[in-house]
Structure 1
Amino acid sequence: MRSTPSLPFRVLTHNIRYATPSPFKGERPWNERKQLLLNELHYNTRFGSDTFICLQEVLHNQIVDILTGLNSKSNSKSSSLDWAFIGVGRDDGQQAGEYAPIFYQPSVWTLQSRETVWLSETPSKPSKSWDAASTRIVTIGVFTHQKTGNTVIAMNTHLDDQGSRSRLEAARIIRSKIHEYQTGDYGGLISGSFLSGDLNSEEDQEAYQDLTGSGDLLDTFKLVEPLQQYGNTNTFTGFGYESEPAKRIDYVLLASGGNQEWRVDGYSVLANRFDDGVFNSDHRAVVADVMLLG
């Protein structure tokens, strides 16, 4: 039976909007947005070295910019970087296409294993299935917290924006992976598992209903009293000119059952535009402060 101290940590998830060469009306190019995003990441991880940063729609050049920016304040005398990441480009399993990366600090978390699963009928290779408009993936990492010994399964995804069937099937694949890890080689070691990402699914729609209605996953938004939440509710805003309404489609979900006992100490949806009028993305970041109970 697992016996480890309690562990508080933070999960920040943000669809940062890929670096398109043809911005929408109201959208600034990545070169004008990237420092605003980095400021968000720096500020929200400044005193939380146990944070996981989970991003979506990240092209390889954005990976380079973000990793460089996160490590820009690293101690130059240190032989190891402050931040590293796991994840691959969805189009070829290397650097092509969008990543769903998970950034972490190797001085805090030891990476035990990593996996990319394609959310399709052929999950071990780049592919798409059903009615998906794009290739979709989930990034999975097994991390052990060095101070407490807690082992956490971190999962990050971005589900299809067009295909209802593909979102439902993707949710089922993700739940099956959670069960696989809970009963596999790491099963006796897992302290907790979480899923972050842009599900492109509202509460009454297929993916959210499958993930949470099954009882396998709990929505951090619903585990904090409304009066104790900070910021906005909607996580998708657009760039100010879309006909699509604002909505909540980005989540941090916690796996339930087994050895996993959680407490959610904080939940927030951060602003993505300030007085300068520049959107750092068409999505807002979601931040959940969670506690794994020993």
Structure 2
Amino acid sequence: MQHSLIQIQSETAAPARASRRPRLRVGSLNIRYDVHSRHPLLKPATDLLRLHRTWGEQRWDRRRDQLVDQVLFHELDVVGFQEVLHHQLGDLAQLLGGEDQEEGSRLELISVSHRWLSPTPSEPGSKGWDAGQPRMITFAHFRDLDLAPEEEEDETPSRRSATRTDLIVANTHWDDRGLLAREKSAELILSLVREQVDDALARRQQGGVPSSEQQSADARQEEPLVVLLGDLNSPAEEAGYQVLTGRRYLDARTGPHAEISPAQASTTESPPPSFFDARHELVVRRRKSSRGRAAAAPEFGSHSADSSTHAPAGGAMSRRYGPLNTYTGFEPSDVPKVIDFILPYANSAFSPLATTTTTSSSRRWKWSVTRYGVVQNFFEDVGGRRGTSEEEKDDAMILSDHRLVVVSFERQ
């Protein structure tokens, strides 16, 4: 059975809360299941064919150390893995050194639940629609200790857990065969997420608001940040992605927020629940044009956003970092494939790009996307030069057929 794993990373010391804006770094990576453990007769042949070969799939026991190094280097608070077999789960938990079940120094785990992407989501192992195999989604509720008021530090974990959920992370891996299954999975996830948010708010109201928070009239109704991570196997033009994102990214040439569905346009009610796509919601900096005037930095492969949605020149990125494709396979290919996503939920906790620079008091304490990057899964010096030691030769290995996606959120 393949697992979806949400890993909490530990920190060496708890950061000072009052000295900076809270930031949250999350990542998503399909690690590629250990195919050789399922097909042991392949091992001798592939060992001979692929040893020190630039392309091709290497065994998990050769890939795992560098794959984990990549995750550790980017110092993620939470990372969601897909396509994880049971023994790979143990390897990741041991090598990462984070907390998969207990609380970390940054995030306190409140609850974990699993649902299957099928018409009977509470039935373990149930397969939905035209999917080739059972698929699932994992929800993890966290309390962000960086956001905890100082007066609460003496409270017991059970007291703190009963009062608030600051973050919900969902991790999923959609079916690669079923087109209908991906669309229906999107509809189901939107329904499940709404239930998760309602449950978090109800738990906070039942637990009461700590004395240090009673100054805010909205404390009990402050919605948690919800982030969906995963390999959706659904490119942006497909129905699954479009349903999940509320059809707000219908045309990459015109960019985010360009179109809405006829149903949304004809009603005065609030739009149905949906997600934003972090790669389209990155706050980018202004840059100087050749004539010395401020100009908006264009985002490659996307729209040129209005300059009012851009941050000042210092500290913000100019565009998305890294390559475009999130899926590469293990052989050279020029087919564009972006199927791995980090998606913040469209509720009151998140500020989309179109409203990032708003000064209204209604924007207080909202999260925005300040970093977005796709990390290379293959490293080699210019010209293909490699070292001569065994360790250096391994550097030219494809770590997985997917790339790590990293997003940083900032609360302001």
TM-score range, shorter chain: 0.7 to 0.9
User: Aligned residue for 2:134?
Assistant: 135
Q: Which has the higher helix share?
A: 2
User: Aligned residue for 2:402?
Assistant: 283
Q: Is the 8 A contact 2:103 2:109 kept in 1?
A: no
User: Aligned residue for 2:114?
Assistant: 116
1:185 Cα deviation from its structure 2 partner: 4.2
1:254 Cα deviation from its structure 2 partner: 0.4
User: Aligned residue for 1:245?
Assistant: 335
Q: Is the 8 A contact 1:218 1:256 kept in 2?
A: yes
User: Aligned residue for 1:223?
Assistant: 281
Q: Is the 8 A contact 1:161 1:200 kept in 2?
A: yes
Gaps of 5+ in 2: 1-16, 47-54, 149-164, 203-220, 248-272, 285-298, 300-317, 351-365, 381-394
User: Aligned residue for 1:190?
Assistant: 223
Q: Is the 8 A contact 2:277 2:344 kept in 1?
A: yes
SS at match of 1:208: helix
Whichever residue aligns with residue 57 of structure 1, its letter is E
Whichever residue aligns with residue 245 of structure 2, its letter is T
Q: How far apart, CA to CA, are the structure 2 residues paired with 1:40 and 1:284?
A: 10
1:129 Cα deviation from its structure 2 partner: 1.6
Q: How far apart, CA to CA, are the structure 2 residues paired with 1:108 and 1:162?
A: 38
1:105 Cα deviation from its structure 2 partner: 5.7
Worse overlay, 268-277 or 185-194: 185-194
User: Aligned residue for 2:66?
Assistant: 36
User: Aligned residue for 1:57?
Assistant: 83
Q: Is the 8 A contact 2:375 2:404 kept in 1?
A: yes
Q: Is the 8 A contact 1:192 1:292 kept in 2?
A: no
Q: How far apart, CA to CA, are the structure 2 residues paired with 1:286 and 1:292?
A: 20
SS at match of 2:92: helix
Worse overlay, 122-131 or 135-144: 122-131
1:18 Cα deviation from its structure 2 partner: 0.4
User: Aligned residue for 2:187?
Assistant: 172
Gaps of 5+ in 1: 72-82, 87-103
- TM-score, normalised on structure 1? 0.81
SS at match of 2:276: strand
Q: Is the 8 A contact 1:26 1:241 kept in 2?
A: no
Whichever residue aligns with residue 280 of structure 1, its letter is L
1:292 maps onto 2:292 in alignment: no
Q: Is the 8 A contact 2:108 2:143 kept in 1?
A: yes
Q: Which has the higher strand share?
A: 1
1:259 Cα deviation from its structure 2 partner: 4.1
1:272 maps onto 2:271 in alignment: no
What does the per-residue CA deviation read over 1:214-260, in whole Å, with 9 as the maximum and x for residues that have no partner? 56211010012424221111000000157x93410000000112344
Q: How far apart, CA to CA, are the structure 1 residues paired with 2:22 and 2:224?
A: 9
1:162 maps onto 2:177 in alignment: yes
Q: Is the 8 A contact 1:268 1:287 kept in 2?
A: yes
Q: Is the 8 A contact 2:349 2:367 kept in 1?
A: no
Whichever residue aligns with residue 36 of structure 1, its letter is Q
Cα separation, partners in 2 of 1:185 and 1:53, compared to 1, 3 Å: closer
Whichever residue aligns with residue 96 of structure 2, its letter is L
- Superposition RMSD on alpha carbons, in Å? 2.2
Whichever residue aligns with residue 44 of structure 1, its letter is H
Q: Is the 8 A contact 1:191 1:292 kept in 2?
A: no
SS at match of 1:234: coil
1:177 Cα deviation from its structure 2 partner: 1.3
1:113 Cα deviation from its structure 2 partner: 1.1
Q: How many residues align?
A: 257
Percent identity over the alignment? Answer: 33
Q: Is the 8 A contact 2:139 2:170 kept in 1?
A: yes
Whichever residue aligns with residue 25 of structure 2, its letter is R
Q: Is the 8 A contact 1:120 1:128 kept in 2?
A: yes
Runs of 4+ in 1 over 6 A off after TM superposition: none
1:179 Cα deviation from its structure 2 partner: 1.1
Q: How far apart, CA to CA, are the structure 2 residues paired with 1:111 and 1:274?
A: 35
- TM-score, normalised on structure 2? 0.59
